[in-house]
Structure 1
Amino acid sequence: MSIEACKSQRGFTLMELMMAVVVVGILVAIALPSYSAYVRRTACEDAKGTLAGAAGLMERFRAQQNTYTGATLGAYAKSPVDGGAVFTVAVAIDNTGTSYGLTATPVDGGVLAGRGTITLSSNGVRGGSGDLDGAWGSCRGL
């Protein structure tokens, strides 16, 4: 085999490299929207779990103190509880201390920023606003 024949058989051609780049680009274009939707659904589901955990904390406080007045959310003030916040959770306790409302609001700059809120009240009423209005049924479609 001559030296010229060996030189022409080494490595990739520019065309082969460009085809590989195009294939990777197509795969990324297909996968990225699905991944983004998955991240939004996961954040929504985690917020619902955090609200349920906060409700349990509130009920334990009331069982011990016979009122919701003075209860704090502690670790449940953000969602997810560990890691960077995607939602902030606030509690509103009525003047008599007999009921409360929990509201999860997406943080500014987060994956669900400006999409609405998810709510849970002491009497079990679940709700939301904006795109998150039906979140208790399903977080799909976000």
Structure 2
Amino acid sequence: MEVMIVVVIVGILLAVALPSYNSSLEKGRRADAKAALLDASNRQEQFMLDRSTYTLNMTELGFGADPMVSEEGHYTVDAAACAAGTIQRCYVLTATPVAGGAQANDTRCTTLILDSTGAKTATGSDLNNCW
């Protein structure tokens, strides 16, 4: 009987703690996306200084693939022209979780976005806490 009570208590603790633990892991893995976005942004600015334009091709920035895969492999980062102009004047970098990866179920911050003005935005259900 005592063993059954212990099993029930452990089950209740796991039911409460596991979602919180998973949420903490997702939040920690978002740092991978932030680092990749900042690295790509720095390379875009250097590319602009060298060639007087930005680029949509991540391999031109020195990454191995287009879209580039973040260091820890949780996100892909790709470049696009901003809505107000062309790639010669501005860019938008978007970090998207790798399909089937550890971050694929992160509904709080589904994508993280950084543009050439330095504006940091996101999509998902908890936009105020993504960055």
- The TM-score, its normalising length taken from structure 1, stands at 0.66
Equivalent position SS for 1:131? coil
Code of the aligned partner of 2:120: R
**CA deviation vs aligned residue, 1:14-41 (integer Å, no higher than 9, x gap):** x232222122212212210210210221
Counterpart in 2 of 1:78?
A: 69
* 1:126 aligns to 2:114 (yes or no): no
Q: Distance in 1 between matches of 2:5 and 2:119?
A: 55
- Contact 1:61-1:71 within 8 A present in 2 as well: no
Deviations 1:75-111 (A, max 9, x none): 68234x22x42x3211014645232110122344412
Whether the aligned pair in 2 keeps the contact of 1:58 and 1:71 (CA below 8 Å) is no
Q: Which structure: larger Rg?
A: 1
Query: How does 1:38-49 map onto structure 2 within 5 Å?
Result: 38-49=24-35
For residues 43 and 56 of structure 2, the distance between their equivalents in structure 1, rounded to whole angstroms, comes to 12
Give 1:51's aligned amino acid: L
1:97 aligned residue: 88
Contact 2:107-2:124 within 8 A present in 1 as well: no
Aligned partner letter, 1:139: C
Counterpart in 1 of 2:97?
106
8 Å CA contact retained: 1:127, 1:133: yes
C-alpha distance in structure 1 between counterparts of 2:43 and 2:52, whole Å:
13
Distance 1:132 1:65, change over 3 A: farther
Q: Percent identity?
A: 38
- Code of the residue aligned with 1:124 in structure 2: it is G
Q: CA RMSD, aligned part only?
A: 2.9
Q: 1:92 aligns to what SS in structure 2?
A: strand
Moved over 6 A (4+): none
Unaligned runs of 5+ in 2: none
- Partners of 2:121 and 2:2 in 1: CA distance: 54
1:35 aligned to 2:29? no
For the residues of structure 2 that align with 1:41 and 1:70, how far apart are their CA atoms?
A: 28
**CA distance in 2 between partners of 1:124 and 1:107 (Å):** 24
**Equivalent residue number for residue 130 of structure 2:** 139
For residues 50-79 of structure 1, give each alpha carbon's deviation from its aligned partner in whole angstroms, at most 9, with x where no partner exists: 211211121222233332236515268234
Aligned 8 A contact 1:107 1:113 in 2: no
Q: Distance in 2 between matches of 1:36 and 1:70?
A: 34
How many residues of Structure 1 are paired with residues of Structure 2 in the alignment?
120
